[in-house]
Structure 1
Amino acid sequence: MSHEAGATARAVVDLALGRPPTLGRGRLVCVDGPAGSGKTTLARRVAGLLPDARLLHVDDLLEGWRGLPGLAGSIDALLRPLARDETGRWRRWDWYADGWGDWQEVTPGGLLVLDGVGSGSPAYADLTTVLVWVEAPDDVRLERWRVRDGEAMLPHQERWLRDEAAQHDGDRTRERADLLVDADGRLLSRPGG
């Protein structure tokens, strides 16, 4: 882990722990941004800093390639019980079977890190402790996507890019973010600065 990326992950955790709990007795960090920007790398670093942190990739809650518009409802249904200090439930999307899979549970308390496009929805902004926006130049993002997911996923790319842009524009995710981070994990801005 580079020093700067490690410092950014620590800044996210410090900001979250410095704020009152928003998810019942727990806290919620949402790491959002366009595909291939570096969200998962940062989210793993953040979750790795606390022994009670849990990381949830919102790709697992998407109903396939066209599931982005319904994602906020699925996440909200998971988070509302946690806000009452009750166990939250969510259903995993099986990308290979192209259908819903098994149910998962999340116990209340600690730090929950949501990672993925659409994770920073305003639908549950009242439960979000820290919203992080990660960005990267388009050429970097598209190359990362190609390397990570392979050529077989490229037919989905054009539609996904339109859907994610519409989601982020409609939700004003970048503008609402507490922290802005670049593709290398460097903190671009912090609250009040």
Structure 2
Amino acid sequence: MHSRSDDPFDDALTAATDRILAAVRGTAASNPVVIIDGRSGAGKSSLAARLIRAWPLRAPAQLLALDSVYPGWDGLARGAQYARERVLVPHARGRIGIWRRWDWELGEAAEAHAVDPALGLVMEGCGALGAASARLADVTVWVDGPADSRRARALARDGEAFRAHWDMWAEQEETHIADDRPQEIADIRVRTP
């Protein structure tokens, strides 16, 4: 356990990391899969980075951020489906998964990356958690927070490039939440300030 800081966001992520690490240690898998879903700016990427650094098993875990595979600003559902089919399903079958990074500037697929089924996997991004992906995971997480705080963090991170697309992206998040109900099926729910 960690001590509290003067940063409530940091404290929320620290507590969440501790809970997820305990859940990972509690699985029987040598290559556990953790799926972290949530709204933009809630802290998914920061949480995933902490989890990768503190991974409790001997072999390291791999990270797949869905931001790397969404095919553009209107591609939330397609990116999540792509990651499930190309990474989660092969991983569950003991096969190497291959995904291609989306080049946001060029608007096209770029280099390929392999995912080793012998290693753990942390997949994070909005759209990551649904009924089909939950069956392929050992630990599932939902992260959310107040809309104003999330928006401020997301725009501070991604700048003006995101501002023009915020409403369209939020609408895709709402569709995912209504259709897939990730907040209800998650093993661990995290609320950031």
TM over 0.5: yes
Moved more, 25-34 or 132-141: 25-34
Equivalent runs, 1:103-114 vs 2, <5 Å = 103-114=112-123
Moved more, 117-126 or 164-173: 117-126
Distance 1:46 1:152 in 2: 27
Aligned residue number for residue 50 of structure 2: 45
Moved more, 126-135 or 1-10: 1-10
Distance 2:107 2:3 in 1: 37
Q: How does the TM-score come out when normalised to structure 2?
A: 0.87
Equivalent runs, 1:124-139 vs 2, <5 Å = 124-139=133-148
Moved more, 88-97 or 2-11: 2-11
Matched, 1:62 2:67: no
The alpha carbon displacement at 1:152 in A equals 3.2
Q: Which amino acid aligns with 2:72?
A: G
The alpha carbon displacement at 1:2 in A equals 6.3
Q: Does structure 2 conserve the Cα–Cα contact (< 8 Å) formed by 1:10 and 1:49?
A: no
Aligned counterpart in structure 2 of residue 71 of structure 1, from 69, 79, 95? 79
Matched, 1:34 2:39: yes
Equivalent runs, 1:1-193 vs 2, <5 Å = 3=4, 4=11, 5-21=13-29, 25-50=30-55, 52-77=60-85, 78-183=87-192
Moved more, 67-76 or 1-10: 1-10
SS of equivalent to 1:112: strand
Q: Count residues with an aligned counterpart.
A: 181
The alpha carbon displacement at 1:124 in A equals 2.1
Distance 2:118 2:159 in 1: 37
Residues 141 and 7 of structure 1: CA distance in aligned 2, closer, same or farther (over 3 Å): closer
Structure 2 unmatched runs, 5+: 5-10
Write out per-residue CA displacement over residues 82-140 of structure 1, whole angstroms, 9 at most, x where no aligned residue.
11212111111000111111111011123211111111122222111111111110000
Distance 1:134 1:35 in 2: 9
Distance 2:21 2:119 in 1: 12
RMSD between superposed Cα atoms in Å? 1.7
Structure 1 unmatched runs, 5+: 185-193
Write out per-residue CA displacement over residues 140-166 of structure 1, whole angstroms, 9 at most, x where no aligned residue.
011112211112321111111001111
